[in-house]
Amino acid sequence: MRRTHMIGLAAMLAGSLAAAAASAQTQPGQPPATPPAQPPQFATTKVPGTENVYIFRYQGHQSMFVVTSAGVIATDPIAYLRPQAATTYIDEIRKVTRAPIKYLIYSHHHYDHIAGGKPFKDAGAIVVAHRRAKEHLAKLKNPAVVVPDVGTADRHVINLGGTRLELHYVGRNHSDNSLVMYLPKEKLIFTVDFIPIETVHFRNMLDGWVGEWEDSLRKVLAMNWERMIPGHPYAGGRLGTKADVQNLLQYMLDLSAAVKVAADQGKCWDTAVKEVALPKYEKWGAYSQYFAGNVERYCSYWGRGY
Ligand SMILES: [Zn+2]
pLDDT at 24: 43
Ligand 1 centroid–CA 286 distance in Å is: 16
Higher local confidence (pLDDT), 201 or 6? 201
Ligand 1 centroid–CA 175 distance in Å is: 7
pLDDT average, residue stretch 45-54:
97
User: Out of 34-38, 52-56, 85-89, 188-192, which region has the weakest mean confidence (pLDDT)?
Assistant: 34-38
pLDDT at 284: 98
pLDDT at 6: 47
Buried/exposed code over 114-147 (b: 16+ C-beta within 10 A; e: otherwise): bbbbbbbbebebebbbbebbbbbbeeeeeebbbb
Ligand 1 centroid–CA 221 distance in Å is: 20
pLDDT average, residue stretch 139-152:
98
The one-letter amino acid code at 50 reads T
Is the pLDDT reported for residue 18 higher than 70? no
pLDDT (tens digit, 9 = 90+) per residue, 154-191? 999 999 999 999 999 999 999 999 999 999 999 999 99
Ligand 1 centroid–CA 297 distance in Å is: 16
Ligand 1 centroid–CA 182 distance in Å is: 18
Ligand 1 centroid–CA 208 distance in Å is: 9
By CB neighbour count within 10 A (0-12 exposed, 13-18 middle, 19+ buried), where does 290 fall? buried
Q: What average pLDDT does the structure give for the chain?
A: 92
Ligand 1 centroid–CA 5 distance in Å is: 12
Angle formed by the axes of helices 287-299 and 242-264, to 10°? Answer: 60
Ligand 1 centroid–CA 90 distance in Å is: 22
pLDDT at 36: 64
pLDDT average, residue stretch 246-251:
98
Ligand 1 centroid–CA 130 distance in Å is: 14
The environment of the single-atom ion ligand 1, i.e. residues with CB closer than 5 A, is 110, 193
Backbone phi, psi, residue 78, to 5°: 45, 50
Ligand 1 centroid–CA 72 distance in Å is: 24
Ligand 1 centroid–CA 113 distance in Å is: 7
Ligand 1 centroid–CA 29 distance in Å is: 39
Rounded CA-CA distance 193/204 in Å is 13
Ligand 1 centroid–CA 28 distance in Å is: 37
Q: Are 176 and 169 in contact (CB under 8 A)?
A: no
